Amino acid sequence: MMSASIPGNETARLAALRESGLLCTPDEHSFNCVTNIGARLFDVPVCLLSLVDADRQWFKSVVGLDMRESPRDVSICAHVVASGSPLVVEDTLHDLRFADNPFVRESPLVRFYAGCPVRAPTGEVLGALCVMDFEPRSFPQRKLTLLEELASLAELSLLTRRVSSAQRILAEKLELARRECLIDPLLRIWNRGGIMSILEHQKQLSIDNGAPFSTLMIDIDHFKRVNDSHGHLIGDRVLTAVVRSLQATLRAGDELGRYGGEEFLVVLPGTSAAGAQRLARRIADAVGAMRVNVPTSTVGCSVTIGCSVSIGVADWLREPAESLQSLLHRTDQALLQAKASGRNCVRMSGANAQRHTETG
């Protein structure tokens, strides 16, 4: 096996990777769109956006593999980083660089690879956008051109990416390993500890700059029925689909975390109660329109599962500065009101709740 060489600008490259703030962060809709399009456009089982760190590659977005990182010395994407050029391997078993690579000889048994560099705005190669297959295949120049264009879209997403100030502060304060511990392993969003840290930083920012913020508490209606009827594996698929719908509806800078089993907390920087309620209504509509196809015990047959959400809304009270415990209590009470009202609706806490309340 031939490991990739180290680029001559490695120090600057790693600095740019750190500066990007991408490592060990939750999934983001824009990057997931790129990998989903890649898998479908090229009809391949695997598409991923790999970021090559000092001693590992970490996947910011991945379709078709149940893993998030691997050692750098076995990374095929590291060869793209080393050369700064696209790489196509139509049959890995016939390429001396990769024929005895663990990814080729062992799971996942990669036989085809095509990858293009993904660069920081300053030009350093951060990683690669690649497609893979478990069978050899040809990849003519016209397809490579399409992959390069898709990599350019990933770079554009990086250029226009905007995280919340609270997330940026959290990233700066925490080591990568600690940051990874704050991400839910199934859903790839903040876990309860992570979203609470975001909320604490957001409160301090709002105290400092006087800007409003609001919170949403979202619960999937009757989710226990899904697990009881179809099993927990299907339940996980529905959970994942709901999260993807939430991510597609939330705005750049909004923060999403898993607060409980099927309950989510959203932090909305710079958002009033009325703005938060409008966004909550869009979220409820988006989830209500979502459908998940799941297989049945009958070969070739599937069933379609839909679901709805109940949402509680509250805005942080600035004068005097409200405690987070009080804010979360009000948001949770609004959620309970939504459930008591028949579910699939939005309820708002606060003095203007009755005037602004909308139902589904």
Tokens 């925490």 -> residue: 174
Cα–Cα distance, 336 to 315 (Å, whole number): 16
CB hemisphere CA count around 49 (13 angstroms): 29
**Which active-site residues does the annotation give?**
262
Q: Are 284 and 308 in contact (CB under 8 A)?
A: yes
Cα–Cα distance, 184 to 187 (Å, whole number): 6
Q: Are 83 and 70 in contact (CB under 8 A)?
A: no
Q: Are 69 and 57 in contact (CB under 8 A)?
A: yes
Cα–Cα distance, 240 to 228 (Å, whole number): 17
Tokens 């956006």 -> residue: 49
Cα–Cα distance, 90 to 157 (Å, whole number): 28
What are the backbone dihedrals phi and psi of residue 174, each rounded to the nearest 5 degrees, phi first? -105, 145
Torsion of CA 357, 193, 171, 14, to 10 degrees: -130
